[in-house]
Structure 1
Amino acid sequence: MLLADAVERWCTHLAQVRRLSPATVRAYRSDLADLGHAVGEETPLTRIDLEELREWLWRATTRGDSRATLARRTASVRGFFAWAQEAGIVAVDPALRLVAPRRGRTLPAVGTVPAIDGVLRAAAERASGGDAVALRDLAILETLYGAAVRVSELCGLRPGDVDLDRRTLRVVGKGDKERVVPFGGAAARALLDYLERGRPVLLARGGLAAAQAPVFLGARGGRLGPRAVYDLVARTLGPAVGRTAVGPHALRHSAATHLLDGGADLRAVQELLGHASLGTTQIYTHVSGERLAAVYRQAHPRA
């Protein structure tokens, strides 16, 4: 079987059997497309060996790919060939001894409570005039921070998923796992204002049926994509945290860190975020530790 054909079969397996998210499948496909450019997409899978895979990683290193990218691509190729061997496409897994470069720990971007408060106050001021897009933007920012949801979960919200009385959202996360997450009073007020005054205006622009359209809509009334949410967060939160490349996950990171700083139980935060592993949630304890160390160095006379 040719590499390109095997990649298509594997991506179908990931989407339909393992039920990974479309974004995850696209990432795997992109990594293997890079391998295809290096060895040739029409190359039979059985002709790809360990040395060829090492050469591919070496070329990626010389062109300046980050350690995180190299580690992810190594994991993609190892998963792909493990599946190919299990499916009987190859007799020997050439990626079994392929070693990823050690990946350094990168702490997520986190805004301080005053910084986040300033961003949300500015958004509320813009929304005070009643502009539909400004009302939507405020509701997006408050929901991302107030419920600590992923951008894909936010964009996938339907009207029936929002319970303003109980202040909960029903979201579908990674692996099509559904969970119910709470949100606070500020997010509830922003959502109510948007649903009553902003969303009907956007719906009229696009002509979508209210019951079938997602909660959050684009400026022209169409479906709101993750890219638009990234642009919104980068434009509003970026200056507050001092980073140009900052996305919706920064608000999720900030919410998780502030919960732990406030004394929330780690397992409760894990449930809120929808993490399969507690180890994933523990990154936020490191963020809090970094803050503590920074305060100590600044304030302690013997630091």
Structure 2
Amino acid sequence: MNVQEAIDHYLRQVKRSKSPHTLAAYQRGLSAFADSLARSKAKIDVNETDIAALSPLWLETFLNQLQKQSVSTEHLYTTAVAGFYRYVAAQEWAAVNLSTLDFELGQRRSLGKRLHVFPESSLETVLEFMQSVAEQPAKTLPQQLTQRRDAALLFTLADTGLRVSEACSLRRGDLDWDHQRAVIVGKGNKQAVVRFSGRALGYIDAYLKVRVPLDLGQGRQGVLPLFARHDKRAAKKVLPISPRTAENIVTRYVVQALGEEARGTITPHTFRHYFVTRAARRHDILLAQNLARHESINTTSGYTHLSETEIDQAYAEVFDELPPPDEDSPPGKTLDQ
């Protein structure tokens, strides 16, 4: 049995015990693990390498390549790979030293406490680039559909705070154009209201207008996906894009706008951080919590990325506007004391 076959066995086990979203996340994590092995100095091909050769030291290679990923992605991917290692050990397909595995993971968790530099200006550069691409004339209908869809997707992620799985699950009928919002079933199978900006709706409307000829041949319009595939395999069918496709779309424009070195620094989830940060900055963290649909405000605080300058300005607005103490009052006391 080779490594890829063992991964497939493990994912089938995960499918039986985890949610579809968790399964998809584990699939991405193990795919990234396989890619990192192929790019390593040893150039390990998971389709050719026997599972008996599995080594915890491979995890070190993977962890080093996760430096550009967010801490949450890093944690998720290492959890998936560690689960795979333990599964292989339980099946006795390889002599895995679990103590070495735990040591590698322990090292990573300590590194995971590093300060996260939020790429806000880079994300806005990507949005500006996306806007310019959307304005360019397309040579073919598929190209026009792809450009309009990608613009609608990126600005929807930026202005709604939707998780990537939620965005990919949107249907045309979910949108309430008059009230600029949609009712979705989000994390934990909870129903929620999501607001849409005029900017996002403008890009969605432009995209759907180009898609009219395709949609008309599909029957009921309301059940059609909001963001559809436009590859050759989809042909004239209106099929939803997957979260992995959405990630690839984001990565494509990040690389085009910022260069290859920016690959992995901005993901669909980064757009959610961007959304929450803007809501907290322009209003307050309670509004950001409600818009992000977080049960705990502690979760929201982890999403907000205010600069030291912004914190200084906010402090000055609150405290520097206080009247100076009366000259006859001792320091630290008011007249009422």
TM bucket (normalised to shorter chain) is 0.5 to 0.7
Match of 1:168 in 2: 181
Quote the offset at 1:14 in angstroms.
2.7
Match of 2:65, SS state, is coil
Query: Does structure 1 retain, via aligned residues, the 8 Å contact 2:247–2:267?
Result: no
**AA of the residue aligned to 1:150:** R
Instruction: Tell me the distance in 2 between the aligned counterparts of 1:243 and 1:68.
Output: 8
Quote the offset at 1:43 in angstroms.
2.4
**AA of the residue aligned to 1:106:** H
**AA of the residue aligned to 2:228:** L
Distance 1:253 1:74, change over 3 A: closer
Match of 2:306 in 1: 288
Instruction: Tell me the distance in 1 between the aligned counterparts of 2:159 and 2:277.
Output: 12
Moved more, 252-261 or 107-116: 107-116
Match of 2:82 in 1: 78
> 2:225 pairs with 214, 223, 247, which one?
214
Residues 141-156 of structure 1 aligned to structure 2 (within 5 Å): 141-156=154-169
Residues 72-111 of structure 1 aligned to structure 2 (within 5 Å): 74-80=78-84, 89=91, 94=99, 95-98=101-104, 99-101=106-108, 102-103=111-112, 104-111=114-121
Query: Does structure 1 retain, via aligned residues, the 8 Å contact 2:161–2:292?
Result: yes
1:43 and 2:56 matched = no
Match of 2:155, SS state, is helix
Match of 1:288, SS state, is coil
1:258 and 2:278 matched = yes
**AA of the residue aligned to 1:110:** E
Quote the offset at 1:59 in angstroms.
5.3
Quote the offset at 1:24 in angstroms.
0.6
Quote the offset at 1:124 in angstroms.
7.8
Distance 1:209 1:41, change over 3 A: farther
Instruction: Tell me the distance in 1 between the aligned counterparts of 2:84 and 2:298.
Output: 25
Query: Does structure 1 retain, via aligned residues, the 8 Å contact 2:285–2:301?
Result: no
Quote the offset at 1:271 in angstroms.
4.9
Query: Does structure 2 retain, via aligned residues, the 8 Å contact 1:74–1:100?
Result: no
1:206-235 CA distance string (max 9 Å, x none): x54553531123456554432563267438
1:138-183 CA distance string (max 9 Å, x none): 5334322221223343233212222223322344556666543112
TM-score of the two chains, using structure 2 as the length reference? 0.58
Query: Does structure 2 retain, via aligned residues, the 8 Å contact 1:145–1:251?
Result: yes
1:227-262 CA distance string (max 9 Å, x none): 5632674388x36xx967645444433222111101
> 2:292 pairs with 273, 277, 281, which one?
273
Instruction: Tell me the distance in 1 between the aligned counterparts of 2:45 and 2:129.
Output: 44
1:159 and 2:172 matched = yes
Distance 1:118 1:162, change over 3 A: same
TM-score of the two chains, using structure 1 as the length reference? 0.63
Match of 1:100, SS state, is helix
Distance 1:133 1:112, change over 3 A: closer
Match of 1:169, SS state, is strand
1:91-132 CA distance string (max 9 Å, x none): x965455423313333332149987996687578669xxx76
Which structure has the greater CA radius of gyration?
A: 2
Match of 1:18 in 2: 18
Distance 1:229 1:272, change over 3 A: farther
Instruction: Tell me the distance in 1 between the aligned counterparts of 2:20 and 2:132.
Output: 37
Match of 1:191 in 2: 204
Match of 1:29 in 2: 30
